[in-house]
């Protein structure tokens, strides 16, 4: 891969030419092959990009980056250092550029962007991971190499590399798309978060299609209001180069957007969308073996057989299916391969041992996602439905009582537990959740997620279903300032004797 990146190298003068002219030839001719925003990742001959971030001023780490071998620094200009100014530290040039943070995506594209990897953007509160991975799975089944970038990692599905954020930084995104292209990816499905959109991390990505799943309460600690949160999501469709907009019109926000956006394909589980092009379900059958969708629309009629469970997964499947149709993928080939699709890890993932309750691990960490997960499982549950749920610390406190209320309303038994307490008191988080309960005395509390699942399994019958919600694929908890190893999936396997 190093050889590939070197071939992509540009001189510093060429790289910065759209925004800043470098008159000194010796500086303009410095070869840039690797851009880094994090000084800890700077190696010999890396070029460090120092911006003023939301929490950290990268310019404070210029000396560290130079000590680690940076060949040049591109830094954000301010009142002390004007646009175009060049200074030296230990013989290494620092070039100051105005509004550098706004140029990051384009800067990354300047260096890494010459590739054939086609990007598909997926946004929404819930379903991003499942939709993006279904798209990649389906393409792979059709012998078209496809990758993903998102919550569960970046890369091809059989070799995902961990990701810190749902949407990486602007330069990493361009670099990863280029690397995946050189590894053979023809398509990459990207989960695009509201944070990533507001911060312009995908500004220079050309999307061949963009998908909207739904909008419900989340990230209000960052956005403030639902209106601002919705506006952030909508940017993917209004401020980026894209192909078709595949919109879930069963969602109220999606239905509204579909009337104003261009090149919309409406998708619905319940009725024919009022859009120029559309795909909708005429009938959906739910069974233990999966979902059967009888569909109709602009590409004709047919039946999709998939081994996933739950109404919201029927929507996810239909959105992924429609996206691939919009890209010219043959409908009959998609129907033929649909039965080979697999559930995404930590997304309605079933663990079971004969004679015990079924355990389902799901990432649901918003009220809407929790309601949908419990409603989906209710269809399959012959006995009692259990919900084990917590809420994260240092995040939207207003969500906590709502999460507990949803659990109480849609489950028969509720156990409140810890999620990622972070710097907050776990007892206070639980107390915030209890405020939303109608009958708090009927709810059990167990801070340890492992013990909470153990308690539920010991108290449940073989025809019960236990939903352990909130962590999904994650293999850690953040307690205080420490990230400790923990996995709901490992807990389920351990307590069920290794069966899944």
Residues marked as binding for ATP?
A: 124-130
User: Where does 102-150 show beta strands of DSSP type E?
Assistant: 118-123, 146-150
Residues 6+ apart with CB under 8 A from 272: 278, 280, 296
143 Rama sector, left if φ>0, alpha if ψ -120 to 50, beta otherwise = left
How far is residue 112's CA from residue 177's CA, in Å, rounded to a whole number?
Answer: 8
DSSP state of 232: H
Cβ burial of 498 (10 Å; 0-12, 13-18, 19+) is exposed
**Cβ count within 10 A of residue 353:** 18
382: helix, strand or coil: coil
22 Cα distance to chain centroid: 38
Cβ burial of 344 (10 Å; 0-12, 13-18, 19+) is buried
- From the list 31, 68, 63, 33, the residue with the least C-alpha distance to 50 is 63
C-beta separation of 334 from 325 below 8 A: yes
User: Phi and psi at residue 280, in whole multiples of 5°?
Assistant: -145, 160
166: helix, strand or coil: coil
- From the list 327, 287, 324, the residue with the least C-alpha distance to 305 is 287
**Annotation: binding site for meso-2,6-diaminopimelate:** 395, 419-422, 470, 474
Whole-Å CA distances, 84 to 93, 99, 292 = 12, 12, 60
**Annotation: binding site:** 37, 39, 124-130, 165-167, 193, 199, 201, 395, 419-422, 470, 474
User: Phi and psi at residue 114, in whole multiples of 5°?
Assistant: -85, 85
Residue 424, token pair as written in the block: 């907050």
How far is residue 192's CA from residue 472's CA, in Å, rounded to a whole number?
Answer: 19
């Amino acid at each position: 891969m190093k050889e590939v990146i070197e071939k992509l190298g540009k001189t510093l003068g060429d790289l910065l030419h759209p925004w800043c002219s470098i008159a000194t030839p010796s500086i303009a001719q410095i070869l840039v092959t690797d851009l880094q925003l994090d000084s800890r990742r700077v190696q010999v001959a890396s070029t460090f990009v120092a911006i003023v971030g939301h929490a950290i001023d990268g310019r404070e780490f210029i000396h560290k980056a130079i000590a680690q071998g940076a060949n040049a620094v591109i830094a954000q200009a301010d009142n002390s250092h004007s646009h175009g100014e060049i200074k030296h530290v230990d013989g290494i040039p620092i070039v100051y550029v105005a509004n550098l943070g706004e140029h990051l995506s384009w800067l990354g594209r300047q260096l890494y962007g010459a590739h054939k990897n086609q990007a598909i953007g997926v946004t929404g509160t819930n379903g991003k991971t499942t939709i993006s991975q279904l798209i990649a799975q389906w393409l792979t089944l059709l012998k078209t190499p496809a990758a993903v970038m998102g919550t569960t990692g970046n890369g091809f599905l059989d070799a995902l590399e961990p990701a810190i954020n749902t949407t990486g930084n602007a330069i990493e995104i361009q670099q990863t798309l280029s690397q995946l292209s050189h590894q053979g990816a023809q398509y990459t499905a990207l989960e695009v978060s509201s944070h990533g959109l507001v911060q312009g991390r995908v500004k220079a990505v050309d999307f061949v299609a963009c998908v909207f799943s739904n909008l419900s309460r989340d990230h209000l600690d960052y956005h403030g209001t639902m209106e601002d949160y919705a506006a952030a999501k909508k940017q993917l469709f209004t401020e980026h180069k894209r192909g078709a907009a595949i919109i879930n019109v069963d969602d109220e926000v999606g239905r509204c957007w579909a009337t104003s956006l261009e090149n919309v394909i409406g998708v619905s589980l319940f009725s024919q969308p009022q859009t120029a092009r559309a795909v909708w379900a005429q009938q959906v059958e739910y069974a233990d073996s999966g979902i059967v969708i009888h569909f109709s629309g602009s590409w004709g009629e047919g039946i999709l057989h998939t081994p996933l469970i739950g109404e919201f997964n029927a929507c996810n499947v239909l959105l992924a299916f429609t996206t691939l149709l919009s890209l010219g993928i043959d409908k009959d080939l998609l129907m033929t391969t649909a039965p080979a699709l697999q559930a995404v890890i930590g997304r309605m993932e079933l663990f079971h041992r004969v004679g015990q309750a079924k355990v389902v691990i799901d990432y649901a960490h918003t009220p809407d996602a929790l309601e949908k997960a419990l409603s989906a499982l209710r269809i399959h549950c012959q006995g009692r439905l259990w919900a084990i749920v917590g809420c994260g610390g240092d995040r939207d406190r207003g969500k906590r009582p709502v999460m507990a209320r949803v659990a109480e309303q849609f489950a028969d038994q509720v156990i409140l537990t810890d999620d990622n307490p972070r710097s907050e008191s776990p007892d206070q988080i639980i107390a915030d959740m209890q405020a939303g309960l109608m009958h708090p005395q009927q709810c059990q509390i167990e801070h340890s997620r492992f013990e909470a699942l153990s308690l539920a399994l010991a108290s449940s019958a073989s025809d019960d279903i236990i939903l352990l919600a909130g962590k999904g694929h994650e293999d850690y908890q953040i307690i205080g300032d420490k990230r400790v190893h923990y996995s709901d999936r490992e807990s389920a396997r351990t307590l069920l004797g290794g069966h899944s």
